[in-house]
A = this chain, B = another copy of it.
Amino acid sequence: MSNPLFAEIRHNPMLWLLLFVPVVFAAEQLKPAAHTLLFVLSVLAILPLATLLSHATESVAAKTGDAAGGLLNATLGNLTELVIALTALSAGQYMLVKASIAGAIVTNTLFMLGASFLLGGLKHHTQEYSRVNARFQAGLLLLATVALIIPSAVAQADSATSTAFLQQLSVGLAVLLLVAYGLGMLFSLGTHRDLFAGAEHAEAGEAPWPMGLALATLAGVTVLVALVSEIFVESVQEAAETFGMSPAFVGFIVVALVGGAAEMASAFSAARKNRLDLSVGIALGSSAQIALFVAPVLVLLSYVLGPAPMNLLFWPGAVVMVLIATLTAGFITVGGRSAWFVGVLLLMVYAIFAMTLYLLPPQGA
């Protein structure tokens, strides 16, 4: 490996956590039954890997030009979440997969956006951001929310709905969401690119890596994330019991916070620098990407990788939370203006959800 990678590691304290990558592998060999330890170590190892993955993606995107780079960012931007969910999928832990999808949407929409508004607002009296990108991402999210509501609404209205119906419906919804996502990229990166100026993902000031290094990092770190995710997925449920957390809380809150840590660091730093367009773009863009790209890909891949096909029937409580998160984001971003209390409102809604899931008796997940 060449210079820029090591320069970044020296520069960014988060990357010092890379030390935990070999440690977690060693621990798994030596103490395969120490679930709580393995859980903590795997979280500590995933955080810096996600940061590296994020920077490598940005670097490749910066080199490949605007449209292709945007496309790359839009598909690989949530690679960490995707790899974790794929690991859980092939382990047949569909409840964890679904909780982590819903949790990532809610966490990015409420926590990442809310903390960005709060952190930015503590430094700047009021902040403005482009409504165009916010409304675009909120629109995509609204569409995905409809796709997540429908199976559960129909299943409640009709006790006669069969598994076969739910499975057909889920595949159909997955295809529709992917088509909508593709058309959305054509719109925002292609035909109406001019409307979205200023919401680019890449942080100015950060020099991109050379192409070779970036691609090698992308490949190598993805493998590492997959290996660590396996330990994470295996240990998370038992560790959660030790900490007294419900499985719903773990899937919804813990996995989502771990998977999104790298994007959160970028979003918060941009908000402090009064570049709220970037923060809003990262937060709502990540939500939309998980809802319209990661979730449908998981449904389709469950036919290949999973023990059985996965459908899109979510726990009704999760559906309500996704719906509320989307409506709140839609309500908040009408104005295109923010102050610290807007962040507090979003964080409070998130706190209500987190508290409810934390208190929920185990069988409720």
Contacts and interface: CB of A to CB of B under 8 A. Distances in A.
A168 B330 CA distance: 30
A191 B197 CA distance: 32
Contacts of A355: 169, 172-173, 176
Interface string A171-196: 01100100110011001000110010
A25 interface: no
A351 interface: yes
Contacts of A160: 361, 363-364
Given A345-B180, A360-B158, A173 B334 contact: no
Interface of A is mostly: helix
Interface stretch (A16-24, A72-80, A84-92, A314-322): A314-322
A7 to B, nearest CB: 40
A176 B335 contact: no
B162 A361 contact: yes
A333 to B, nearest CB: 10
A149 B320 contact: yes
A5 interface: no
A40 B353 CA distance: 43
Contacts of A140: 345
Given A165-B359, A345-B139, A345-B143, A157 B316 contact: yes
A147 B154 CA distance: 21
A45 B172 CA distance: 33
Contact of A125 (B158, B180, B192): B192
B187 A340 contact: yes
A191 B340 contact: yes
Nearest to A324: B146
Interface in A117-160: 125-126, 131, 135-136, 138-140, 142-143, 146-147, 149-150, 153-154, 156-158, 160
7 contacts: A139-B331, A139-B332, A139-B345, A142-B345, A158-B317, A179-B348, A180-B348
